[in-house]
Structure 1
Amino acid sequence: MSAEDRISYTNAVQCLQSKPARTPSELAPGAKSHFDDWIVAHINQTFFVHYTATFLSWHRWYIWEYEQALRNECGYTGYQPYWDWTKTAETGLETSPIFDGSATSLGGNGEHEPETGDVVISVGDNPVYLAPGTGGGCVKSGPFSNYTVNLGPLSLSLLNGSSIGSSLTPTKGDDYLWNPRCLKRDLSDSVNKRHANLTGVLNVLRKPQNVYDFQMTLQAYPGSGEIGVHGGGHYSIGGDPGRDFFVSPGDPAFYLHHGMVDRTWWMWQMQNPAERTKGSKALMGTGTFLNDPPSANVTYEDEMNLGFVTDKTIKVKDVMSTTGGPFCYVYA
């Protein structure tokens, strides 16, 4: 993207952040902006769109509707960008045009906080230890230096293995209260280089022959000692809400990260388009997190929703192809 296009994009994101929320205040008193509506939708559906059959399809639609809002409500004329993790794994995050802290970036690293200890991810029997990044504090540079995070934290991984909340606890009413604070980041080159690199992406693209294995490799099998390229992107950003399982869309970088997730799925699909967009191996799994509690297999006819982001619903079959249903895009 040109510098002008990057500024147009962040201006549109700031426009969403300035518009009033559509989520009723009695349901989510902490949702203060239309940007927050996307966060509420993600909070509400976290257990139904991670480690489920709809992980990829729901997030594809979610990102696309976000792009439509930037265009239709905030005058953006470009496209939703993605963050190629493989490039920053080589160059470093803080020299990337995405995170260099300039006026054309998404803001830089958080201010350095001299804390020690690892971030510990404990899903399954084999915890993953991630070295902290080089920031940790408030983002003071770039277009989101004055942005206020309103919701959460709900399941925020901290250093020394501690956390706020639990990723395995269902949401409840007080999870939607207003908690204004700065955007924090803890950019970690070590996480990017180890967990979201070119080898990781190639493994995701080349080994799995069905979407279940593809999704589980992308997200990492619990207990495997890995976090996958999906987790690698999230934890490379770090901070608050970047490390929050529920509230991570509160960092504008989330949408570029999941743009790359969608691109990776698209690349996998394009190796066998007919089979991987509508065949028997293109949609597999149930509708609950790791099938807990046990639930029915998701079908192409099942409908998805985005809460108060849009009053539309969509069938899974209509989001399987980037050139079908409401979509008309491909990736470079």
Structure 2
Amino acid sequence: MKKYDVTGIGNALVDIEFKVTDQFFRDNNVEKGLMTLVDEERQNALMKVINTEEAKKQCGGSAANTVIAVSQFGGSSYYCCKVANDELGYFYLEDLKNSGVDNSLEGKVPEEGITGKCLVMVTEDSERTMNTFLGITQNFSVKDINDWAIKDSKYLFIEGYLVTSPNGKEAMLHAKKIAENAGTKVALTFSDPSMVKYFKAGFEDVIGPSVDLLFANEEEAMLFTGKDNLAEAREEMKKAAKHFVITQGKNGAMIFDGDTFIDIEPYKTVAIDSNGAGDMFAGAFMYGITNGHSYASSGKLASMASSKIVSQFGPRLKWHEAKEILARLNP
């Protein structure tokens, strides 16, 4: 019996989320709808012109959001990450702990440096734009991984954003090898279309012959496979993963369970904020498949959870909301 359902590896970023207008982007030369890496000076300049009093602050990073979701639905999760010995670093670890997630820095004093921050700007059309200063998390490496946690998990969940640095990619490869040798299944998320566009070769190295589970959206699936339609892309994806999920925004998702394709219906909602929808889908799905649910049932749970996320501000459910969604799945 393994201790954890899911161990994640990825960036540790304090998310600072706030609402903006399209005019804000024009005034401050921000490219809408993308995740852009920025330096600390640029991020601080943006923070000076926003109303930080109305901002929502919590621990984040794509894989962190996913393992928190696993925990909220009643699963057990662990996170390997890197924060600095500063106020935001301790805020991050406390928030992670309060979210029910064990982590690789428990009982340790973090290194000196600056904890990474992600400014999440949400417009009225619910689209999210991110400007990220990675800080110390850009140095995340093999030494920040607790091998025992991977060995003692049903699944390893790898964040695609790590592929951008040599040390991050090395950590991905190391974690995957530890998992495979321990009989722990491996899940990977592409994280963002720009990651697939610019680091496709890196992903191919990490995937190797195959991974157990791959998460992508439509654009990422087509970019990775080089196909210009989803029908061809999903056939090509079978070469990279034994099972995979392709999210399709308001059109729901499709899952390949190793045998057949399963269409997952969307749940109608009024979209307010798309931040964290993909992370939540992955987390709810991972909870499902590690806790006795079928792929179809796990997909339904993930669709319900992600539709709830886009209907509110912020990338996380409240604890009672997770319980209510589970109750709807198992009436």
**TM-score, L = length of structure 2:** 0.27
Q: Which has the higher contact order (CA 8 A, sep 6+)?
A: 1
- The structure in which a higher percent of residues are strand is 2
